[in-house]
Structure 1
Amino acid sequence: MTLNKKLKIALAQIDIIAGRPDLNTKKIISAIENAKKEGDELIVFSEMAVPGYLLGDEWESNSYVKDCFAYNEDIKCATQGIVAIWGNVDIDSSKRNEDGRIRKYNAAFVAQNGEYVGKSPIHKTLLPKYREFDDARHFYSLRKEAEENGTKTEKLIEPVEVQINGECRKLGVILCEDMWSDDYSVNPIEILLSKNAELLVNLSCSPWTWRKNNKRHSVVRSRIEKHPAYFIYANNVGIQNNGKNIFLYDGNSSIYNPDGTLLKVATDYKEEIIRTTLFDEETRSIPNLKVSDARDREELYAALIYGIRRFFENLPNKKVVLGLSGGIDSALSAALLAQALGPENVYAINMPSQYNSKTTKDIAQGLAQNLGIHYASISIQNSYENTIKEIEATEFVQLDGSNTKTELIFSALNRENIQSRDRGSRILAGVASILNAVFVNNGNKTETALGYATLYGDVNGALAPIADLYKQEVYELARFINRKKELIPKAIFMIPASAELSENHNVDEGKGDPILYPYHDKLVRAFVEFRLDPEDILRYYKNGELSQICKCEKDLIDSYFPTAACFIADLEHKWRIYKINYFKRIQAPPIIAVSKRAFGFDLRESQNGFHFTREYLKLKEEILGQ
């Protein structure tokens, strides 16, 4: 039965610094003291607010885990006169995890007047083990506890009862994944509501991804549709870097009315405390922002700027060096870096060879001028020619008595790679060292997937800021940046995308990369994000469904591949190079994750080579036989 007693709550959206429980605890205690001064009766923080969440195997350090756990005492002592709920690791030293290490739980702690309340701590019921999440690797779940104790999970899921102003309030406290229960056998929210929880509190540490918040709004509404209740979603801001991916936390902490409408939402990417009074007679709501392509670009731009800025906060200084070719990828990278770090911290270098056109050199300089960044041009022609000369003059002799000789002759591809490595490993790395800066690479997701990048040339640096954007998305975001003022020269949109590494890449003659980006972007997305393989793709193609599945115009596919044989040849070629170029991706710098699946630890790849299933070969035979 819903109480009429009003409840003043505060939702603290704090910037969690992964690996720094000392700093995070200071923020939590400071927010609690602020809430008490404001007269709040309940304050809520996010999941793993003390230690951070994406810590990798730092969770295997008993010293670190025990240190994080000990900070609970500091927070608990600060709860005189208020109820506080926060996320941290819980430990049970008397038991062991299945890996033989100390038993750990992803937990929510509830304290009031310096004491834990009810059955606190509350252990996470559902542990995600997909994408970047590794809960099941490190923590013990409530479901396993139930199994271990020979009882049903439902019996261990109970509302927390707290006394506020003489009233007993039943709080349904859950952690992140406990809300996303569609693919599990247990629905924690349904259980809590069936046990008369009057308020649901979800502690999350949930990274920003494409349209995630809109999806969450829908999920929350569905969870409370049959049993209306206030719903508090507490998320953090900041970044967490697992070594291969930088995940962005936008916050977007929200308070929902019992009918699923939004009551209050915190500002994205900002430390903020939002507060309101629940269970009053006044009904208030704010509109849910509508999904649109324009909003997608706004959010993507804000996310990348935030990610770059926060990444550089962990470095000794903000200076960054990048290659500026006059192409769209480096143009977008430069524009993002200039906005995030300030133009005074960006050093762009155009590194032409005989194959670089005046067109792209002029574009590069014009872009640098528009952005107000530092600019220089360093030709690689002499060093390129000298490298070719020295290596081709070299002769290997096998010293086994046979005196077998091996000459070194460059292929066209070898010559292209020499240029790329000279730019990245010699010039960019050298200049960055002199400036006490770091350098970044400009690779996009499509080229990263298909191996259209040179190891130690394009594939290097401290950060890959746009490596989770497909080529068409790069163009779209560049146009978005130009919406008010032309920062990226319009000429860049008029020339083909080109590496300019040979005469076959002459942009003035309309020659460009050997990738059909409008289609291959979608094919790569099918491989990476949809987890489809050639068997799936070919079946959709045969059934006339491929354009719908990949969201690519059928006329475009037909124009690129007028026959089934052409389509199949391209599919097999792209599958091969996608699978065999993993060795480049694993050596790439951290990627800012913004899609539904980013390369790095978000997508666990193995160097297995390529394989075509028997069903694929059968489909291929049927189609070509027709």
Structure 2
Amino acid sequence: MADRFRVTLAQLNPVVGDLAGNAALAQSAWEQGREAGADLVALPEMFITGYNTQDLVMKPVFHQAAMAEVEALAVACADGPALAIGGPWVEGGKLYNAYLILRDGKIASRCLKHHLPNETVFDEVRIFAPGPLGGPYAIGDTRIGSPICEDGWHEDVAEMLEETGAEFLLIPNGSPYYRNKMDVRLNHMVARSVETGLPVIYLNMVGGQDDQMFDGGTFVLNPGGALALQMPVFDECVTHLDLERTPDGWRAVEGEKSHLPDEWEQDYRVMVESLRDYMRKTGFSKVLLGLSGGVDSAIVAAVAVDALGAENVRCVMLPSEFTSQESLDDAEAVAKALGCHYDYLPISEGRSAIANTLAPLFAGLEDGLAEENIQSRLRGLLLMAMSNKFGEMLLTTGNKSEVAVGYATIYGDMAGGYNPIKDMYKTRVFETCRWRNVNHRPWMMGPEGEVIRPNVIDKPPTAELREDQKDSDSLPDYPELDAILDILVDQDGSIADCVAAGFDRDVAKRVEHLIYISEYKRFQSAPGARLTPRAFWLDRRYPIANRWRDPS
């Protein structure tokens, strides 16, 4: 009976739909495991297809092609360690989320996911059939249990595996980031380790997929919850883990324990890596954005430069007669500090032409929101024209506070392909700018030091669509607005909850009304990096036509 077992843990970044490319990544990891004398090479959940595939995996031609790719991979990896890889599996006319064990040129075993998540960004109940509670699989004379992702968050699957002879748990995951999620994962895995008395290997993927960022952070616990190994967050890596048989059962040999950054650094890196991967996986290499001199466009420019390099970022100032000299100076200073291309494109002439065109229809009516929004939509038109001409993806720059209450112009400043700060409230944008000014990391492609000068952060926010305009003319001050939004959106709270927290009922009701009437804008908005469990899109799905208001 073997007294040592080596698992190669492949924390890698698949691309949804790139079956051949994902298989090549898997085979490369397997070859590294073979060279290291591994008994098993393990990849995350649904790795062959990429994750989260949403409805794509239900398409028969797609999941059949994925299964065929796994079968071909089994043949290619016949001479060496076993290979465990997540993918779709059809059995009895039903589609399953499966973990497939490849050995001796074939699919030797398979685990079928039992608990299907049906919340936040996941709709697995409508996609997959639930698998039965099953037992462990064997690699040589070692028996391994593999609860798949959500199965690891429930005690029944792990308990069944322990009772049927599993000697340690290898849990493959496609677990996307939200702020402080690592604590949640660790608490669940410690519980599984304590309940079963077995070592627990939590294997997670990395990489961005649309709005979701899979942050890796693979870790290993010995019985009782003692941390034996911690892989880094966000980085692709392949690590070899040894387990030793003792009189008390298998124990993981302690390995490297990577440092986990704080939530400010992790949020910023999510925005950077999400944009970087979104570009790579959709085929773009360059971006542009409107740089207003304000804090939102400044942080988006910093994120873009850190993700792609200054040579791949174009910033465009599009001033009107309402744009202050202060904004002009601030925008140019940010572009210069970041080292990116800077264009100056006044819109006054175009705005006058549009106003003259509309004058016969608008005769006798006072100027108002329609005229203000013409400026924003003209900027959107010009930026999209540049995007088309130069092949650069346009980034939008609306923060979560603005997105929540509709303080943005549809087909104007909302135009674009991706929004790195879509899930970051304005108050956190200010602090994130300050964080970036004093922090630099090797994964940032931008320069060190202050890249967003203090005046950009400290001046009163304004859209500058009319004389002396301030955001506070239309909205509560951002600390108050964000606190109310946190209750109504992130906590799913009520008006009564807002009042109990000390906010004026009429203000809270007005914010609630703005949230509901802005749903149509969010429905058409660009995707953006998910930072919280209540990001706008899959985490929060509301009807557009909706007359309900909280009566409390």
Q: TM-score range by the shorter chain?
A: over 0.9
Q: Are the counterparts in 1 of residues 193 and 221 from structure 2 also a CA contact under 8 Å?
A: no
The question of whether the paired residues in 2 share the 8 Å contact of 1:468 and 1:599 is answered with yes
What secondary structure sits across from 1:487 in the alignment?
coil
2:207 aligned with 1:230 = no
Deviations 1:178-229 (A, max 9, x none): 0122xxxx62112222333210011111112111112211211112114321
C-alpha displacement at 1:326, in angstroms? Answer: 0.7
Query: For the Cα contact (< 8 Å) 2:44–2:204, is it kept in 1?
Result: yes
**CA pair 34-285 structure 1, distance change in 2 beyond 3 A:** closer
Distance 1:221 1:206 in 2: 17
- Tell me the distance in 2 between the aligned counterparts of 1:75 and 1:170: 23
Q: Which residue of 2 aligns with 1:446?
A: 401
8 Å CA contact 1:264–1:274 kept in 2: the answer is no
Structure-2 residue corresponding to 1:162: 139
Which amino acid is 2:167 matched to? E
Deviations 1:333-378 (A, max 9, x none): 1111111111112111111222211111111111111111111222
Q: 91, 98, 101: which is aligned to 1:107?
A: 98
2:435 pairs with 1:492:
no
Please tell me the residue identity of whatever aligns with 2:145: G
**How much does 1:112 deviate?**
2.5
Post-superposition Cα deviations, 1:538-564, rounded to whole Å, max 9, x if no partner, equal 4xx1xxxx2xxxxxxx6xx5xxxxxxx
Determine whether 1:210 maps to 2:179.
Answer: yes
1:26–1:213 distance in 2 versus 1, CA, 3 Å: same
Contact 2:287/2:312, CA 8 A, preserved across alignment? yes
Instruction: Provide the rounded CA distance (Å) in 1 between the counterparts of 2:257 and 2:232.
Output: 14
Residue 119 of structure 2 is matched in structure 1 by 130
Query: Residues 157-556 of structure 1 correspond to what in structure 2 (within 5 A)?
Result: 157-163=134-140, 168-181=141-154, 187-241=156-210, 246-279=211-244, 284=254, 295-394=262-361, 407=363, 409-425=365-381, 427-484=382-439, 485-505=449-469, 514-538=475-499, 541=500, 546=501
Q: Superposition RMSD on alpha carbons, in Å? A: 2.2
Alignment correspondent of 1:100: none
AA at the equivalent of 1:14: L
Aligned to 2:12: 14
Aligned residue number for residue 88 of structure 2:
89
| 1:72 matched to 2:70 | yes
Read off the aligned partner of 1:412 and give its amino acid letter: G
SS in structure 2 at match of 1:232:
strand
> 1:551 aligns to what?
none
C-alpha change, 1:506 and 1:612, in structure 2 (3 Å) is closer
Cα distance, 1:68 vs. partner? 0.6
Residue number in structure 2 paired with 1:62 = 60
Distance change (3 Å), C-alpha of 1:531 and 1:347: same
The code of the aligned residue for 1:495 comes to K
Name the CA distance, whole Å, in 1 between partners of 2:62 and 2:391. 32
- Preserved CA contact (<8 Å) 2:463 2:470: no
> Following TM superposition, by how much is the alpha carbon of 1:255 offset from its aligned partner in structure 2, in angstroms?
2.1
How far 1:258 sits from its partner (Å)? 2.1
Shift of 1:590: 1.4
- 2:543 matched residue in structure 1: 606
Corresponding residue number in structure 2 for 1:562? none
Partner of residue 98, structure 1: none
Residues 266 and 273, structure 1, Cα contact 8 Å, conserved in 2: no
Distance (Å, rounded) in 1 between the aligned partners of 2:46 and 2:300? 33
Aligned pair count reads 537
Q: Distance in 1 between matches of 2:515 and 2:28?
A: 50
CA distance in 1, matches of 2:59, 2:195: 44
TM-fit CA distance, 1:23? 1.1
Corresponding residue to 2:29 among 28, 31, 35: 31
Q: Would the alpha carbon gap of residues 70 and 16 (structure 1) be closer, same or farther in structure 2, given more than 3 Å must change?
A: same
Deviating more after overlay: 279-288 vs 121-130: 279-288
Larger radius of gyration: 1
Is the 2:202–2:219 contact (alpha carbons within 8 Å) kept by the matching residues of 1?
A: yes
TM-score (structure 1 length as normaliser): 0.82
**Could you tell me whether the CA contact under 8 Å between 2:41 and 2:82 is conserved in 1?**
yes
Q: Which runs of no fewer than 5 residues in structure 1 stay unpaired?
A: 96-102, 144-155, 396-406, 547-553, 558-566, 617-626
Could you say what secondary structure the match of 1:34 adopts?
Answer: helix
